[in-house]
Amino acid sequence: MTNKVWFITGSSKGFGRVWAEAALARGDRVAATARDAGTLADLVEKYGDNIAAIKLDVTDKKAVDAAVAEAHKRFGRLDVVINNAGYGHFGAIEEVSEQEARDQIETNVFGALWVTQAVLPIMRAQRSGHIIQISSIGGVNAFASLGLYHASKWALEAFSQSLSIEVGEFGIHVTLVEPGGFSTDWSGASAKISKPMEAYAPARAKMAERRANSVAGDPEATGPAMLAIVDAAEPPLRVFFGDGGLPMIRQEYANRLATWDKWDHVSVMAQGARKNRKG
Active site residues: 135, 149, 153
Cβ–Cβ under 8 Å, residues 11 and 32? yes
Distance CA 162, CA 174 (A): 10
**What secondary structure, in 3-state letters, does the chain show?**
CCCCEEEECCCCCHHHHHHHHHHHHCCCEEEEEECCHHHHHHHHHHHHHHEEEEECCCCCHHHHHHHHHHHHHHHCCCCEEEECCCCCEEECCCCCCHHHHHHHHHHHHHHHHHHHHHHHHHHHHHCCEEEEEECCHHHCCCCCCEHHHHHHHHHHHHHHHHHHHHHHHHCEEEEEEEECCECCCCCCCCCEECCCCHHHHHHHHHHHHHHHCCCCECHHHHHHHHHHHHHCCCCCCEEEECCCHHHHHHHHHHHHHHHHHHCHHHHHHHHCCHHHCCC
